[in-house]
A and B are shown apart, each in its own frame.
Chain A
Protein backbone atom coordinates (compact mmCIF):
# COMPACT_ATOMS: atom_id res chain seq x y z
CA UNK A 1 0.00 0.00 0.00
CA UNK A 2 2.80 2.40 0.93
CA UNK A 3 4.47 1.76 -2.42
CA UNK A 4 1.33 2.92 -4.25
CA UNK A 5 1.20 6.01 -2.04
CA UNK A 6 4.84 6.81 -2.83
CA UNK A 7 4.19 6.30 -6.56
CA UNK A 8 1.17 8.63 -6.34
CA UNK A 9 3.27 11.13 -4.39
CA UNK A 10 6.01 11.01 -7.04
CA UNK A 11 3.44 11.56 -9.81
CA UNK A 12 1.94 14.48 -7.83
CA UNK A 13 5.33 16.12 -7.33
CA UNK A 14 6.22 15.66 -10.99
CA UNK A 15 2.84 17.04 -12.10
CA UNK A 16 3.15 19.94 -9.66
CA UNK A 17 6.61 20.87 -10.92
CA UNK A 18 5.52 20.60 -14.56
CA UNK A 19 2.44 22.75 -14.01
CA UNK A 20 4.39 25.30 -12.01
CA UNK A 21 7.19 25.59 -14.56
CA UNK A 22 4.76 25.71 -17.50
CA UNK A 23 2.66 28.31 -15.66
CA UNK A 24 5.72 30.47 -15.00
CA UNK A 25 6.71 30.10 -18.67
CA UNK A 26 3.23 31.29 -19.70
CA UNK A 27 3.67 34.30 -17.40
CA UNK A 28 0.85 33.18 -15.11
CA UNK A 29 2.53 35.04 -12.23
CA UNK A 30 2.11 38.31 -14.07
CA UNK A 31 -1.56 37.49 -14.60
CA UNK A 32 -1.95 36.65 -10.89
CA UNK A 33 -0.23 39.91 -9.86
CA UNK A 34 -2.35 41.98 -12.24
CA UNK A 35 -5.57 40.31 -11.14
CA UNK A 36 -4.66 40.59 -7.46
CA UNK A 37 -3.84 44.27 -7.79
CA UNK A 38 -7.30 45.19 -9.07
CA UNK A 39 -10.03 45.51 -6.45
CA UNK A 40 -12.17 42.34 -6.69
CA UNK A 41 -15.71 43.74 -6.84
CA UNK A 42 -17.26 40.31 -6.19
CA UNK A 43 -15.16 39.96 -3.04
CA UNK A 44 -16.26 43.35 -1.75
CA UNK A 45 -19.84 42.61 -2.79
CA UNK A 46 -20.44 45.44 -5.20
CA UNK A 47 -20.27 43.77 -8.57
Chain B
Protein backbone atom coordinates (compact mmCIF):
# COMPACT_ATOMS: atom_id res chain seq x y z
CA UNK B 1 0.00 0.00 0.00
CA UNK B 2 1.28 3.46 -0.89
CA UNK B 3 0.60 6.62 1.07
CA UNK B 4 3.74 8.52 0.22
CA UNK B 5 2.20 11.38 -1.82
CA UNK B 6 0.22 12.66 1.20
CA UNK B 7 3.13 11.98 3.52
CA UNK B 8 5.39 14.03 1.25
CA UNK B 9 2.83 16.81 1.00
CA UNK B 10 2.71 16.98 4.80
CA UNK B 11 6.50 16.96 5.08
CA UNK B 12 6.60 19.76 2.50
CA UNK B 13 4.22 21.91 4.56
CA UNK B 14 6.10 21.10 7.76
CA UNK B 15 9.28 22.42 6.09
CA UNK B 16 7.42 25.48 4.76
CA UNK B 17 6.22 26.36 8.26
CA UNK B 18 9.59 25.57 9.89
CA UNK B 19 11.48 27.75 7.41
CA UNK B 20 8.77 30.41 7.25
CA UNK B 21 8.65 30.83 11.02
CA UNK B 22 12.44 30.81 11.40
CA UNK B 23 13.53 32.52 8.22
CA UNK B 24 14.77 35.82 9.63
CA UNK B 25 18.03 35.66 7.68
CA UNK B 26 19.55 38.69 9.37
CA UNK B 27 19.32 36.94 12.75
CA UNK B 28 21.10 33.87 11.41
CA UNK B 29 23.85 35.56 9.44
CA UNK B 30 24.81 38.84 11.05
CA UNK B 31 25.68 39.48 14.68
CA UNK B 32 22.95 37.56 16.52
CA UNK B 33 19.93 39.63 17.31
CA UNK B 34 16.27 38.71 17.56
CA UNK B 35 13.55 39.90 15.22
CA UNK B 36 11.38 42.36 17.12
CA UNK B 37 8.75 43.36 14.55
CA UNK B 38 5.00 43.07 14.79
CA UNK B 39 4.99 39.42 13.58
CA UNK B 40 6.34 38.53 17.03
CA UNK B 41 2.79 39.18 18.20
CA UNK B 42 1.70 36.06 16.32
CA UNK B 43 1.60 33.01 18.56
CA UNK B 44 1.23 29.96 16.30
CA UNK B 45 -0.06 26.91 18.19
CA UNK B 46 3.19 25.00 17.74
CA UNK B 47 6.37 24.62 19.76
CA UNK B 48 8.72 27.08 18.09
CA UNK B 49 11.31 28.68 20.35
CA UNK B 50 11.39 32.48 20.36
CA UNK B 51 15.05 32.43 21.33
CA UNK B 52 15.83 31.02 17.88
CA UNK B 53 17.98 33.59 16.04
CA UNK B 54 15.78 33.44 12.96
CA UNK B 55 12.29 33.26 14.40
CA UNK B 56 9.58 35.72 13.38
CA UNK B 57 6.94 34.49 15.83
CA UNK B 58 6.47 33.84 19.54
CA UNK B 59 6.17 30.52 21.36
CA UNK B 60 2.79 29.88 23.00
CA UNK B 61 4.31 27.94 25.93
CA UNK B 62 6.91 30.66 26.51
CA UNK B 63 4.33 33.44 26.20
CA UNK B 64 1.93 31.81 28.67
CA UNK B 65 4.79 31.34 31.14
CA UNK B 66 5.71 34.99 30.76
CA UNK B 67 2.17 36.02 31.68
CA UNK B 68 2.32 33.69 34.68
CA UNK B 69 5.61 35.27 35.74
CA UNK B 70 4.11 38.78 35.60
CA UNK B 71 1.01 37.42 37.42
CA UNK B 72 -1.37 38.14 34.54
CA UNK B 73 -3.84 35.99 32.64
CA UNK B 74 -2.71 35.29 29.04
CA UNK B 75 -6.09 36.21 27.52
CA UNK B 76 -4.79 36.77 24.00
CA UNK B 77 -2.67 33.60 23.80
CA UNK B 78 -5.37 31.39 25.31
CA UNK B 79 -8.04 32.95 23.07
CA UNK B 80 -5.93 32.25 20.01
CA UNK B 81 -5.25 28.64 21.02
CA UNK B 82 -8.92 28.00 21.88
CA UNK B 83 -10.04 29.36 18.49
CA UNK B 84 -7.48 27.27 16.59
CA UNK B 85 -8.33 24.18 18.66
CA UNK B 86 -12.07 24.68 18.15
CA UNK B 87 -11.55 25.02 14.41
CA UNK B 88 -9.07 22.28 13.51
CA UNK B 89 -8.05 20.50 16.73
CA UNK B 90 -4.38 19.52 16.66
CA UNK B 91 -3.96 20.03 12.91
CA UNK B 92 -1.03 22.41 13.47
CA UNK B 93 0.81 19.66 15.43
CA UNK B 94 0.66 17.49 12.34
CA UNK B 95 1.25 20.02 9.59
CA UNK B 96 3.16 22.97 11.05
CA UNK B 97 5.13 22.11 14.19
CA UNK B 98 8.91 22.22 13.56
CA UNK B 99 9.64 19.92 16.49
CA UNK B 100 7.05 17.47 15.19
CA UNK B 101 8.89 17.52 11.86
CA UNK B 102 12.18 16.72 13.61
CA UNK B 103 10.59 13.75 15.38
CA UNK B 104 8.87 12.53 12.22
CA UNK B 105 12.17 12.60 10.32
CA UNK B 106 14.04 10.81 13.11
CA UNK B 107 11.44 8.05 13.18
CA UNK B 108 12.15 7.36 9.51
CA UNK B 109 15.54 5.93 10.52
CA UNK B 110 15.24 2.21 9.94
CA UNK B 111 15.69 0.36 13.22
CA UNK B 112 13.66 -1.68 15.70
CA UNK B 113 10.63 0.33 16.85
CA UNK B 114 8.86 0.48 20.20
CA UNK B 115 5.45 1.60 21.46
CA UNK B 116 5.04 4.40 23.98
CA UNK B 117 3.21 3.15 27.10
CA UNK B 118 -0.34 4.55 27.07
CA UNK B 119 -0.05 6.09 30.54
CA UNK B 120 2.74 8.37 29.35
CA UNK B 121 0.31 10.46 27.27
CA UNK B 122 -1.01 11.94 30.53
CA UNK B 123 2.44 13.40 31.14
CA UNK B 124 1.82 16.33 28.81
CA UNK B 125 -1.13 17.53 30.90
CA UNK B 126 1.05 17.46 34.02
CA UNK B 127 3.78 19.37 32.16
CA UNK B 128 1.17 21.91 31.06
CA UNK B 129 -0.34 22.43 34.51
CA UNK B 130 2.86 22.39 36.54
CA UNK B 131 5.71 23.60 34.34
CA UNK B 132 3.79 26.12 32.21
CA UNK B 133 1.19 27.52 34.63
CA UNK B 134 1.83 26.69 38.28
CA UNK B 135 5.62 26.68 38.80
CA UNK B 136 6.31 29.81 36.67
CA UNK B 137 3.59 31.60 38.69
CA UNK B 138 5.13 30.49 42.00
CA UNK B 139 8.82 30.99 41.24
CA UNK B 140 8.45 33.89 38.77
CA UNK B 141 10.58 32.16 36.16
CA UNK B 142 9.88 30.40 32.87
CA UNK B 143 10.37 26.88 34.20
CA UNK B 144 9.30 24.85 31.16
CA UNK B 145 11.79 26.74 28.98
CA UNK B 146 14.58 25.48 31.24
CA UNK B 147 13.63 21.91 30.27
CA UNK B 148 12.47 22.46 26.70
CA UNK B 149 14.48 20.46 24.14
CA UNK B 150 13.09 22.62 21.34
CA UNK B 151 14.63 25.60 23.17
CA UNK B 152 17.98 23.81 23.11
CA UNK B 153 17.61 22.86 19.44
CA UNK B 154 16.39 26.20 18.07
CA UNK B 155 17.58 28.60 20.73
CA UNK B 156 20.41 27.34 22.90
CA UNK B 157 22.68 25.56 20.43
CA UNK B 158 22.37 28.12 17.57
CA UNK B 159 22.81 31.06 19.96
CA UNK B 160 25.93 29.45 21.40
CA UNK B 161 27.32 28.74 17.93
CA UNK B 162 26.60 32.24 16.65
CA UNK B 163 27.37 34.27 19.74
CA UNK B 164 30.83 33.82 21.24
CA UNK B 165 29.94 36.20 24.10
CA UNK B 166 27.59 33.56 25.52
CA UNK B 167 30.16 30.76 25.67
CA UNK B 168 31.33 31.49 29.19
CA UNK B 169 27.71 31.35 30.41
CA UNK B 170 27.17 27.74 29.32
CA UNK B 171 26.87 25.87 32.59
CA UNK B 172 24.88 23.06 34.13
CA UNK B 173 21.54 24.32 32.84
CA UNK B 174 22.75 24.57 29.26
CA UNK B 175 24.29 21.12 29.25
CA UNK B 176 21.21 19.65 30.99
CA UNK B 177 19.11 21.01 28.14
CA UNK B 178 21.46 19.50 25.59
CA UNK B 179 21.19 16.14 27.36
CA UNK B 180 17.36 16.39 27.40
CA UNK B 181 17.44 17.16 23.68
CA UNK B 182 19.74 14.18 23.07
CA UNK B 183 17.34 11.91 24.99
CA UNK B 184 14.34 13.17 22.96
CA UNK B 185 16.27 12.77 19.70
CA UNK B 186 17.27 9.23 20.64
CA UNK B 187 13.73 8.33 21.76
CA UNK B 188 12.29 9.74 18.52
CA UNK B 189 14.29 7.23 16.49
CA UNK B 190 12.58 4.34 18.26
CA UNK B 191 9.15 5.72 19.25
CA UNK B 192 6.61 7.72 17.24
CA UNK B 193 6.65 11.38 18.32
CA UNK B 194 7.49 10.71 22.01
CA UNK B 195 7.76 14.39 22.94
CA UNK B 196 4.41 15.36 21.38
CA UNK B 197 2.62 12.52 23.10
CA UNK B 198 4.20 12.59 26.54
CA UNK B 199 5.51 16.12 27.14
CA UNK B 200 4.32 18.86 24.78
CA UNK B 201 2.21 21.43 26.69
CA UNK B 202 0.98 23.04 23.46
CA UNK B 203 -0.36 19.69 22.33
CA UNK B 204 -1.98 19.31 25.75
CA UNK B 205 -3.73 22.66 25.33
CA UNK B 206 -5.10 21.72 21.91
CA UNK B 207 -5.88 18.05 22.59
CA UNK B 208 -9.29 18.41 24.33
CA UNK B 209 -10.63 20.28 21.28
CA UNK B 210 -10.11 17.24 19.05
CA UNK B 211 -13.46 15.91 20.32
CA UNK B 212 -15.44 19.02 19.41
CA UNK B 213 -13.45 20.82 16.73
CA UNK B 214 -15.13 21.71 13.45
CA UNK B 215 -12.67 19.46 11.60
CA UNK B 216 -13.25 15.82 12.54
CA UNK B 217 -12.18 12.37 11.43
CA UNK B 218 -14.84 9.81 10.60
CA UNK B 219 -14.65 6.04 10.26
CA UNK B 220 -17.18 4.18 8.17
CA UNK B 221 -17.76 1.13 10.36
CA UNK B 222 -19.24 -0.84 7.46
CA UNK B 223 -16.19 -0.30 5.27
CA UNK B 224 -13.57 -0.84 8.00
CA UNK B 225 -12.07 -4.33 7.90
CA UNK B 226 -9.99 -3.81 11.03
CA UNK B 227 -6.76 -4.38 9.10
CA UNK B 228 -4.84 -1.94 11.33
CA UNK B 229 -3.36 0.05 8.43
CA UNK B 230 -4.46 3.33 10.02
CA UNK B 231 -2.46 2.60 13.16
CA UNK B 232 0.59 1.53 11.17
CA UNK B 233 0.74 4.82 9.24
CA UNK B 234 -0.39 7.03 12.15
CA UNK B 235 2.53 9.20 13.37
CA UNK B 236 1.14 9.11 16.91
CA UNK B 237 0.17 5.43 16.93
CA UNK B 238 -3.62 5.78 17.25
CA UNK B 239 -5.97 2.98 16.39
CA UNK B 240 -8.10 5.30 14.27
CA UNK B 241 -10.85 2.74 13.68
CA UNK B 242 -11.48 2.61 17.43
CA UNK B 243 -11.10 6.30 18.27
CA UNK B 244 -10.92 8.53 15.17
CA UNK B 245 -10.99 11.76 17.18
CA UNK B 246 -8.55 10.69 19.85
CA UNK B 247 -6.97 13.47 21.90
CA UNK B 248 -3.66 12.37 20.39
CA UNK B 249 -4.78 12.78 16.76
CA UNK B 250 -2.72 15.41 14.95
CA UNK B 251 -5.04 15.49 11.90
CA UNK B 252 -2.21 14.51 9.56
CA UNK B 253 -4.66 12.64 7.38
CA UNK B 254 -2.34 9.71 6.68
CA UNK B 255 -5.07 7.34 7.90
CA UNK B 256 -7.27 8.52 5.00
CA UNK B 257 -5.03 6.30 2.87
CA UNK B 258 -7.17 3.44 4.26
CA UNK B 259 -7.29 0.59 1.70
CA UNK B 260 -11.10 0.51 1.93
CA UNK B 261 -11.49 4.31 2.21
CA UNK B 262 -13.14 3.85 5.59
CA UNK B 263 -11.41 6.85 7.18
CA UNK B 264 -12.33 10.33 6.02
CA UNK B 265 -12.08 13.95 7.04
CA UNK B 266 -15.44 15.41 7.93
CA UNK B 267 -16.86 18.28 9.97
CA UNK B 268 -18.72 18.19 13.25
CA UNK B 269 -21.83 19.22 11.33
CA UNK B 270 -21.62 15.97 9.41
CA UNK B 271 -20.66 17.54 6.09
CA UNK B 272 -17.53 16.31 4.30
CA UNK B 273 -14.63 18.67 4.89
CA UNK B 274 -12.96 20.39 1.99
CA UNK B 275 -9.79 18.67 3.22
CA UNK B 276 -10.61 15.35 1.50
CA UNK B 277 -9.30 17.07 -1.60
CA UNK B 278 -5.88 16.07 -0.29
CA UNK B 279 -6.94 12.52 -1.05
CA UNK B 280 -6.44 13.45 -4.65
CA UNK B 281 -2.77 13.24 -3.88
CA UNK B 282 -3.17 9.61 -2.96
CA UNK B 283 -2.64 6.73 -5.28
CA UNK B 284 -3.34 3.66 -3.26
CA UNK B 285 -1.92 0.49 -4.67
CA UNK B 286 -2.86 -2.60 -2.76
CA UNK B 287 -0.13 -5.20 -3.00
Contact = CB atoms under 8 A, between A and B. Distances in A.
Interface of A: 2, 5-6, 8-9, 12-13, 15-24, 26, 28-33, 35-40, 42-47
A42 B146 contact: yes
Interface in B5-64: 34-38, 40-41, 43, 49-51, 57-59, 62-63
Nearest to B166: A46
Given A12-B212, A13-B86, A37-B40, A43 B79 contact: no
Nearest to A30: B41
16 contacts: A6-B269, A9-B268, A18-B79, A19-B75, A19-B76, A19-B78, A21-B79, A33-B36, A36-B62, A36-B63, A37-B36, A40-B62, A42-B151, A43-B49, A44-B160, A44-B174
Report which residue of A18, A19, A30, A36 has the largest number of chain B beta carbons within 10 angstroms of its beta carbon.
A36
B160 A32 contact: no
User: Chain B contact residues (Cβ within 8 angstroms of A): what range?
Assistant: 35 or more
A19 B159 contact: no
Contacts, number: 156
A43 B78 CA distance: 21
Secondary structure of the B contact surface, majority rule: helix
A12 B209 contact: yes
Interface string B65-103: 011001010111111101101100000000000000000
Nearest to B55: A36
Contacts of A29: 41, 76
Nearest to B147: A42
